[in-house]
Amino acid sequence: MDVVLRILYIVARFGRDVYWAITKPKLTGVRVIILDANDAILLVRHRAGPYAWTLPGGGVIPREPVIEAGRRELHEEAGVNIPAKLFYIHGTSDGAHAIHPCIVTTVAARAPKLTIPQPSRWSIEVADARFVHPSVFHELDDAIEPGCLRRIDEILTGKPVAAHW
């Protein structure tokens, strides 16, 4: 089943990129950083792409508050629900998508207690989700998207958000 879902995800991404190339939409997205009590970060593993591991996130629906978009994406991709009052906006960057211009806002929260991520078995996008401490990022089976690593470093070290993803 994983092979079928991976193929569906690759086809869907290709279709999305073709559609975006034709329509040239203005993309607005959100990425979510969730830290547990030990500063482990919630990462999701996509079924395909140049960097499998990334922060949960996705598109913001028009007129949707960015924190609500982050909560929605967190639930869709990792099966995790965290109250909106625990989130804060870390900042906004441009250029998160390699081909299409976009603006991405990073929101963050601390999990009040250990939350076990449970992505849907039938998700064509997400194959796995787990909390990973930055000290063991190198032990993951695939790379983490570099922009996500920069946002994680900003949160953990207190740096301001960089203008470019």
Vertex 22: Cα angle to 145 and 100 (nearest 5): 25
CATH number of 2-157: 3.90.79.10
Of the chain, the percentage scoring pLDDT greater than 70 comes to 89
**pTM score, whole prediction:** 0.82
Calculate ∠ Cα 5-132-2, nearest 5°.
10
Residue 11 or 69, more confident: 69
Q: How far is CA 78 from CA 23, 46, 48, 82, in A?
A: 30, 11, 17, 11
- State residue 73's pLDDT score: 95
Domain ranges of the chain: 2-157
107-159: pLDDT as tens digits: 999 987 777 888 877 787 898 999 999 999 999 988 898 989 999 999 999 99
Residue (of 129, 137, 131, 141) closest to 153 by Cα position: 137
75-93 residue pLDDT tens: 999 999 999 999 999 999 8
144 DSSP assignment: B
